[in-house]
Structure 1
Amino acid sequence: MQHASRFTRLTALALGIAGALTFGNAAATGFQIRENSVQNMGRANAGTAVAKKDASVVSNNPAAMVNLDKTTVQADVTVIDLTADFNGGGVAAAGTPLQSPLRGGDGGDPGDATVVPALAVVVPLSGQFENLTLGASISAPFGLMTEYDSDWVGRYNAVKSDLKTIDLTLSAGLAITDRFSVGLGLIYQRAEATLTNAVDFGSGICRISAAACTTPNPVAAPFGPQKNDGSASVEGDDTGFGWIVGAQFRPTDALSIGYSHRSEIDTELDGTIDFTVPANVAALFSARGITTYNDGPGGAKLTTPSVDTLSVQYDFNDKFRMMADAQLTGWDSMRSVDIVRADGTAVSSEAFRWSDSMMYAVGGEYDFNDAFTFRAGIAYDETPTNDQTRTPRLPDNDRQLYTLGMTWRATPAFSVDAAYMRIEIDSPTVDVVSSSGSRLTGKFSGHADLFGVAAQYQF
């Protein structure tokens, strides 16, 4: 029973709830998505906390909402297109006499084009409340979608990974003076996850009963590594609350400095754990009274990280300005993922040991004329992952970002934005043992292309 419990300990959920959150989101390291503004994307996300004509400050720095003097409605859509390849292999039943090379392909390209929308509204008040500005936004700050071929060589570690977070942010900004403002926002977050991978039940049977895999001989035996594949599927969802605070200071007419802090948000992803078990394996488990692989409720805690952003903008003249950002993401909240059943029984604990990471960005804008503004930027984004705990569900690494963007002001009230971002990702390696006992080794390579369009209307 001890071997069976170890074999069916539902590591799929641990690898999924945290691990599956990464490589499919090529927009930022970890599973962060910064693309809530096409204007920001055009300058490599520099200047996010001091943006002057961008309603996304509702969720980036509510203190900067005072920069907008008219009611502003803004809709942004970004398409994230990841291209990734895996080169490697491994062994099934690693470390046992029955270990054999893993069969399967390279998994194909796991990153289909994914659409990330955002919507923001800013409303400056008047009269006795003229120093107060209110705002609301809907955005997706964390998430991903990846899917490997179901028969790929790393199927025991990951097949499908789908995480969605949607935030509703309600903010208020207050101009203390003409040069200093503060802001506060409340965040309501909805998180949903669906995760799948294959399970090598044949290797598990061998650990329970070696005779089942060697009699009359390993080739003819009904059970064995990669002979009795099933699958595990995990679904969970929850809601949580967080907050954001910020400040903006303009020491001179040309210089603006902004800072914001977004809190961690805790959620308990409660849902179901479902297994698909081959008939001969199910019959054997039934005969032995093994129930640890049965379907049932379960869950894990997910904490989305805190984010601290420092932005600076300098206007060289009326036409040309430059921005810089330094952003700290508190990934140390992803130290481990502990899986429990609905009755509180511990299932597993997976160490990730992620570290806090920094993103540095520099960008600029040039007003060609009253109708057109052009942008460009570069950024460097550190990974929170490490070589010791990286898995194929999170083959993340440091990345370099290069962007171009523009705004067309069709009328004084209506404008359209467009931007393109190219992301080059340093090749990460994996060397990991799955819950099925297989060992996967290899290297990922990949890049991403992001395309964004937005529209803004002021009245």
Structure 2
Amino acid sequence: MNCRKTLLSRIVRASALIGAGMLVNQVHGAGFALNDHSATASGNALAGAAASKADISGSFWNPALLTNASGPELYMSGAALLPSMDVSANSASDPAGNHISGEATDVVDPSIVPAIYYAHPVAENTVAGLSFNVPFGLSGEYGRDWAGRYHSAETSVEVMTLAASVAHKVSETISVGGSLQVHKGSVLLAAALTDFAGGLSNHGEGYGELEGDDISVGYSLGVLFEPAEGTRIGLGHRSEIDFTFEGESSYDNVPPTLRALGVDEAYLFDQIDFPSVTSLGLEQDVNERLTVAATAMYTGWSSMDEMRIAFAPGPDNIKQPDSVITFKFQDQWFYSLGLSYLVDDKLTVRTGVARDYSPVRDEYRTARTPDDDRTWYSFGGSYQFSPDTELHMAYTYVDVDDTSVIRDGSLPEDASRGRLNADYETHAHVFSLGFNMKF
């Protein structure tokens, strides 16, 4: 019974990565949020994103900003994330106390984050639109031979979102908007299966993978207020995304002790509530050329208090019981300040700085959630080739606070994974390129 519980705990622990500050590869946004939805907004570290007058890409944070379109408009953006993570395993042991060694290299992978927006006026002061984004995702792989392989070996999580939006300019000072969103989520989670002998038994270690996907529906709402000429205040809210991932577990070389307890391929599901995001943006024109901006973004990470996974009976007709892991994530803030300067009638330059706070508590940080607070340093610009075409570029350096994963065996969910003490040094270079065209 002990072995069964410990195995289940490990699988739950792996599944939790989907929702928890999970991605070893996600170093741009705290937790596992991706914030690369506009090359324009990235140029000043998202400062004023929910109030921006620049183009329609700010509608990700505030759908009321679709009213920036005076005619049909297409905006396409892509961000190349080049992360680096140095992992040093100071010590590790299996559940039986056997010492484990092994280094992890090339843990994080470069990724491309796309974003597409289209807006079309449908009546006087009313604009409809479609958009495609990837609000959560990325992947990472420690490999099967590193010291913490019972805690994590591979992770891939992705949420893709298609949204239909509408915005209306109520008056000269107020615009409102909303969207209906369809989210497609998928996950792959993998970890080594302990043989309770540090891989030293004749049978050796096993390996397990969980795969699941789901489709969910959400919404966003927003308002833009312009109390005076040159002053814009925007507020947008994106709802929680409630997923119930369904899929299959698969295993290689399952140790006999675990196989006798019913560890085999089986249907599984787990419910995950991805967090809501509320964005407040401010833009203030200082003069005809200079604009200052600020953002405060609140993410409701506390929706991820725990993760629960359930299994159907496998081929042996043994149903593994539900298992629960606690995260106790904290709601957190993102703050940024930025400047935009109109050099001439074609060129605009931007810069900004941001502080992004992690929802992960020290006592629950794991190899799948080596997340900590981070600072952004951004600059970028836009060049208008013609009245109908504009190119946007941005660069952001993301510096993640050095952090440690210390799993000393005191939490019940580590009974099947053993102990791990590892240090992490992480940063990322993010290059964004955008293009918008008016028809």
TM-score, normalised to structure 2, is 0.93
1:312-355: per-residue Cα shift (whole Å, max 9, x none)?
A: 00011221111100000000011110110136863311111110
Aligned partner of 2:160 in structure 1 is 166
Aligned-residue offset at 1:43: 0.6
1:168-188: per-residue Cα shift (whole Å, max 9, x none)?
A: 111111111011011111111
Query: Unaligned stretches of 5+ in structure 1?
Result: 206-220
Q: Are the aligned partners of 1:13 and 1:195 in contact in 2 as well (CA < 8 Å)?
A: no
Q: C-alpha distance in 2, partners of 1:3/1:291?
A: 10
Residue type matched to 1:243 in 2?
Answer: Y
Q: C-alpha distance in 1, partners of 2:27/2:388?
A: 34
Aligned partner of 1:398 in structure 2 is 373
Matched, 1:6 2:16: no
Aligned-residue offset at 1:431: 1.4
Q: C-alpha distance in 2, partners of 1:20/1:352?
A: 10
Aligned partner of 2:231 in structure 1 is 255
Q: C-alpha distance in 1, partners of 2:117/2:163?
A: 9
Give the alignment of 1:42-441 within 5 angstroms: 42-94=43-95, 96=96, 99-105=97-103, 107-125=104-122, 129-203=123-197, 222=201, 228-277=204-253, 281-282=255-256, 290-342=260-312, 346-432=321-407, 433=409, 434=414, 436-441=416-421
| CA-atom RMSD in angstroms | 1.9
Q: Are the aligned partners of 1:44 and 1:363 in contact in 2 as well (CA < 8 Å)?
A: yes
Q: C-alpha distance in 1, partners of 2:258/2:32?
A: 38
Q: Are the aligned partners of 1:76 and 1:452 in contact in 2 as well (CA < 8 Å)?
A: yes
Q: C-alpha distance in 2, partners of 1:342/1:319?
A: 63
**Secondary structure of 1:49's match?**
helix
**Secondary structure of 1:250's match?**
strand
Q: C-alpha distance in 2, partners of 1:363/1:285?
A: 55
Aligned-residue offset at 1:10: 5.4
Aligned partner of 1:214 in structure 2 is none
Residue type matched to 1:201 in 2?
Answer: D
Q: C-alpha distance in 2, partners of 1:456/1:312?
A: 23
Query: Unaligned stretches of 5+ in structure 2?
Result: 314-318
Q: Are the aligned partners of 1:156 and 1:435 in contact in 2 as well (CA < 8 Å)?
A: no
Aligned-residue offset at 1:20: 7.0
Q: C-alpha distance in 1, partners of 2:92/2:52?
A: 52
Aligned partner of 1:37 in structure 2 is 38
Q: C-alpha distance in 2, partners of 1:342/1:54?
A: 49
**Secondary structure of 1:39's match?**
helix
Residue type matched to 1:124 in 2?
Answer: P
Aligned-residue offset at 1:13: 4.0
Residue type matched to 1:55 in 2?
Answer: I
Aligned-residue offset at 1:285: 5.8
**Greater mean deviation of Cα atoms: 326-335 or 294-303:** 294-303
Aligned partner of 1:22 in structure 2 is 23
Against the structure 1 CA distance between its residues 231 and 435, is the aligned structure 2 distance closer, same or farther, given a 3 Å change threshold? farther
**Secondary structure of 2:49's match?**
coil
Q: C-alpha distance in 1, partners of 2:139/2:212?
A: 15
Q: C-alpha distance in 2, partners of 1:57/1:420?
A: 18
The aligned length equals 427
Matched, 1:453 2:408: no
**Secondary structure of 1:419's match?**
strand
Against the structure 1 CA distance between its residues 20 and 161, is the aligned structure 2 distance closer, same or farther, given a 3 Å change threshold? farther
Q: Are the aligned partners of 1:424 and 1:448 in contact in 2 as well (CA < 8 Å)?
A: yes
TM-score, normalised to structure 1, is 0.89
Q: C-alpha distance in 1, partners of 2:2/2:197?
A: 11
Q: Are the aligned partners of 1:14 and 1:338 in contact in 2 as well (CA < 8 Å)?
A: no
Aligned-residue offset at 1:66: 1.2
Which of structures 1 and 2 has the bigger CA Rg?
1
Against the structure 1 CA distance between its residues 348 and 190, is the aligned structure 2 distance closer, same or farther, given a 3 Å change threshold? same
**Secondary structure of 1:201's match?**
coil
**Greater mean deviation of Cα atoms: 410-419 or 377-386:** 410-419
Q: C-alpha distance in 2, partners of 1:10/1:144?
A: 24
Q: C-alpha distance in 2, partners of 1:301/1:339?
A: 7
**Secondary structure of 1:65's match?**
helix
Q: C-alpha distance in 1, partners of 2:437/2:356?
A: 32
Aligned partner of 2:316 in structure 1 is none
Q: C-alpha distance in 1, partners of 2:278/2:299?
A: 7
Q: Are the aligned partners of 1:10 and 1:347 in contact in 2 as well (CA < 8 Å)?
A: no
Q: Are the aligned partners of 2:282 and 2:294 in contact in 1 as well (CA < 8 Å)?
A: yes
Aligned-residue offset at 1:254: 1.2
Residue type matched to 2:71 in 1?
Answer: K
Aligned-residue offset at 1:367: 1.1
**Secondary structure of 1:311's match?**
strand
Q: C-alpha distance in 2, partners of 1:351/1:202?
A: 24
Q: C-alpha distance in 1, partners of 2:14/2:402?
A: 20
1:294-318: per-residue Cα shift (whole Å, max 9, x none)?
A: 1111021111101111000001122
Q: Are the aligned partners of 2:116 and 2:131 in contact in 1 as well (CA < 8 Å)?
A: yes
